[in-house]
Amino acid sequence: QKEVEQNSGPLSVPEGAIASLNCTYSDRVSQSFFWYRQYSGKSPELIMSIYSNGDKEDGRFTAQLNKASQYVSLLIRDSQPSDSATYLCAVTSNNNDMRFGAGTRLTVKP
Amino acid sequence: DTGVSQDPRHKITKRGQNVTFRCDPISEHNRLYWYRQTLGQGPEFLTYFQNEAQLEKSRLLSDRFSAERPKGSFSTLEIQRTEQGDSAMYLCASRTGTGANYGYTFGSGTRLTVV
- B14-67: pLDDT as tens digits: 999 999 999 999 988 889 999 999 999 999 999 999 999 999 899 878 899 999
For residues B85-101, average pLDDT:
86
Choose the closest CB to A44 out of B40, B43, B100. B43
Q: What percent of chain B has pLDDT over 90?
A: 73
* pLDDT by residue, tens only, chain A of 110 residues: 678 999 888 999 999 999 999 999 998 888 899 999 999 999 999 999 999 999 999 999 999 999 999 999 999 999 999 999 999 999 987 666 889 999 999 999 99
pLDDT at A27: 86
Which of B47, B50, B104 should be substituted to probe chain A, the one whose Cβ sees the most A Cβ atoms within 10 Å? B104
For residue A14, the model assigns a pLDDT of 97
From the CA of A103, how many Å to the nearest CA of chain B? 6
Distance from CA of B63 to the nearest CA of A (A): 20
Average pLDDT, chain B: 92
Measured from the Cβ of residue A95, the count of other Cβ atoms closer than 10 Å reads 12
Q: Check pLDDT > 70 for residue B98.
A: no
Confidence (pLDDT) at A68: 94
Query: Could you say which of B35, B56, B101 has the minimum Cβ distance to residue A32?
Result: B101
By CA distance, what is B58's nearest residue in A?
A: A97
* B36 residue type, one letter: R
**By CB neighbour count within 10 A (0-12 exposed, 13-18 middle, 19+ buried), where does B90 fall?**
buried
- According to the model, what pLDDT value does residue B99 have? 67
Calculate how close chain A gets to B52, using CA atoms only, in Å. 16
Whole-angstrom Cα distance, residue A67 to residue A79?
27
Contact residues on chain A for B31, CB-CB shorter than 8 A: 96
Mean pLDDT (whole number) for B80-86:
96
Q: How close B76 gets to chain A, by Cα (Å)? A: 18
* Model pLDDT, residue B100: 62
Helix H or strand E segment including A33: strand A32-38
Put simply, whether B41 touches A (Cβ < 8 Å) is yes
Whether the predicted pLDDT of B1 surpasses 70: no
pLDDT of B12 over the 90 cut? yes
Identify the residue among B9, B21, B39, B45 best suited for mutation to test binding to A, counting A beta carbons within 10 A and taking the highest: B45
- The Cα-based distances of B33 to A3, A66, B54, B71, B103 in angstroms read 19, 28, 10, 15, 12
Q: Which of A43, A88, A94 sits opposite B100 (nearest CB)?
A: A94
Could you tell me which residues are beta bridge partners of residue A85? A106
